[in-house]
Amino acid sequence: KFKIEKIHNKITENKPKRTGKTILFTTMYGVPYHKKIPNTSITVDYFTHIVTDSSYNYLSHFHTDHYNGLSSKYKGRIVCSVTTSNLIRSKFRVNTIPLEQNKWYKMIDHYVYLIDAKHCPGAVCFIFYANDLLYLHCGDFRCTTDWYCDINFSSNEFMHRIINDLIIKKDNLLKNKILSDNYIINNKIINNNVTNVLNEININKINEPIELNISKPNTNICIPITKLKFNKIFLDNTFEGVKDFDSQHNIINKIIKDINKRNNVLFPIEYKYMFVSYSVGKEKVFFSIAEKYDWSICIRNYKKIFLNNLCDYSLKLLENEIKSILFKESVRLKERLTDKDAEIYVISLSDVNLERISKICNSKRVVVIFPTGWSRKNYVMKNDNITVEVMFYRYSEHSSDNELNKFKETMHGEIINTVKHKQNY
């Protein structure tokens, strides 16, 4: 049972309710069911109240609906990716525990492994190993084909348990050599001769995570995430049952095609292009367009703060995706940024009106590109001085319905949906 320190409102202590296999929306002693790993002291994206019996409070990414409740007075342990840590420290001046991706870390009472969520820079999914069980919390994610990754298991105190009990069709997996070529698995590992790399460390005396990064030969294996048996999978099902949408790559190419149509005329009109973006998110869209046409990008202060806090790993991921979209060998993203007049402006949702747009730039013709997973109709705003076309493109940083169905067919574990208005929440 979690003990909860009251901050604002009274906490109700409703036990989780089940109807068959369906988990109804409720709270477990005040903590929403999908924000707590069962039978552990782990919470994810829950900062509205202090959970005094929680060992660590994990934050999947830097979006308001996930860090809601955080302030400079927050005293709990916050565990997140390096980029998210930079942003949290910049905004709230609180301490965090930043973890790199694709590495196992030993906490006081569990292990954790971070993988890229394909959502926004710094966003991660968490794999937890606690009480001899594996859990996957997706936070917010886009389940593209390249989301499915191999999980690296080093020679440590729980690898034998994973190999013997938590791999789907273990014998067939090893026989067909699905393991990464970079690692070797031998009979010593399979036959229980596993080195305990933590035997000289007193876990009870430390608060910081221990990075399990063992470089000894013949002690590392890579297991595809689809071959792991999860006890529970906490799934971001935002667009479940919603009309399907295309991949991010195809949507960006559609934007390029539409811009080409405006440029490839006998007497082209000079446009300014404005891209609607959150403080974190949609960077791939406007950077891809800037790289395609060799344009500059005028950014506001809120966006500059975020981009300055991108860690090298997050920036590299973004660069690689844009190179893949445009079939380019190199890109120069940050060199394109300016606070002066440019071909591209990055704006917030509140800027999408004639008065604000007129103040931001002096152009008479403006195209506002609004990437969103929801279907909306394009429209035009104009007065005597300016004409603004608002164009919606179904670009999403959440998984499509088709991607979610594939995920459920491919992964192994009980699905717990994390979006309230969807089935099985």
Number of helical (H) and strand (E) elements in the chain, helices listed first: 11, 26
- Residue 157's pLDDT is what? 55
pLDDT in tens, 75-89: 888 999 999 999 999
Give domain status of residue 382, yes or no. yes
Task: Cite the DSSP H helix spans in 294-353.
Answer: 301-308, 312-326
CATH number at residue 53: 3.60.15.10
CB atoms within 10 A of CB 21: 8
pLDDT tens-place string over residues 56-76: 899 999 998 999 989 998 888
Region of poorest pLDDT, from 139-148, 174-183, 338-347: 174-183
**Would you say residue 407 has pLDDT above 70?**
yes
Asked if pLDDT for residue 119 goes beyond 50, the answer is yes
Q: Is residue 183 in a domain?
A: yes
Distance between CA 317 and CA 329 in Å, rounded? 14
Same structural domain, 93 and 214: yes
Q: 230 with 262, same domain?
A: no
* CA dist list (Å): 347 to 238, 357, 376: 24, 9, 19
Distances in whole angstroms, Cα of residue 188 to Cα of each of 69, 176, 327: 49, 19, 44
Regarding whether 255 and 237 lie in a shared domain, the answer is no
**Is residue 170 a part of any domain in this protein?**
yes
Range name among 174-183, 238-247, 394-403 with the lowest pLDDT average = 174-183
- pLDDT score, position 163: 63
pLDDT for 326 equals 96
Give the chain's end-to-end CA distance (angstroms, integer): 21
Shared domain check, 211 and 143? yes
Q: Do residues 184 and 234 share a domain?
A: yes
143 and 26 housed in the same domain: yes
What separation in angstroms does the CA of 410 have from each of 23, 119, 143, 357? 21, 20, 11, 46
Given a cut of 80, whether residue 172 has pLDDT beyond it is: no
Residue 164 parent element (H or E)? helix 159-165
Q: Tell me, yes or no, whether 323 and 355 share the same domain.
A: yes
Whether residue 12 is contained in a domain is answered as: yes
**At 374, is the pLDDT very low, low, confident or very high (cuts 50, 70, 90)?**
confident
Q: What is the pLDDT of residues 177-205, one digit of tens each?
A: 333 323 222 222 222 222 222 222 232 33
Q: Are residues 266 and 219 in the same domain?
A: no
Residues 124 and 207 grouped into a single domain: yes
Question: 346: domain CATH number?
Answer: 3.40.50.12650
Is 425 contained in some domain? no
> What is the DSSP secondary structure assignment for residue 36, as one 8-state letter?
B
Q: Find residue 211's DSSP bridge partners.
A: 105
Where do the DSSP E strands lie in 225-269? 229-235
Tokens 């088709």, located at residue? 402
**Residue 169 CA from chain centroid, whole number:** 29
pLDDT at 183: 27
- 100, 313 Cβ separation under 8 angstroms: yes
275: CB partners within 8 A, 6+ apart: 282, 285, 286, 289, 344, 345, 346, 347, 368, 369, 371
What's the pLDDT score for residue 265? 81
Nearest in space to 274 (alpha carbons), one of 332, 349, 384: 349
CA distance 97 to 78: 6
- CB contact at 8 A, 147 and 141: yes
pLDDT score, position 152: 86
Question: How do residues 243-294 score in pLDDT, each as one tens digit?
Answer: 899 999 999 999 999 999 998 887 888 999 999 998 889 999 999 999 999 9
Do residues 259 and 238 share a domain?
Answer: no
- Please give the residue range of the domain that contains residue 184: 4-242+400-417
The answer as to whether 424 is a domain residue is no
pLDDT at 218 over 60: no
Tell me how many domains the chain contains: 2
Quickly state the pLDDT bin for 153 (edges 50, 70, 90): confident
Instruction: List the structure tokens of 187.
Output: 């009979």
Residues 365 and 312 in one domain: yes
**What's the pTM?**
0.82
Q: With respect to residue 317, please indicate whether it lies within any of the assigned structural domains.
A: yes
Task: Report if residue 423 sits inside a domain.
Answer: no
CA dist 116 and 106 (Å) reads 19
For residue 6, give both structure tokens: 């009251």
Do 313 and 410 sit in the same domain of this protein? no
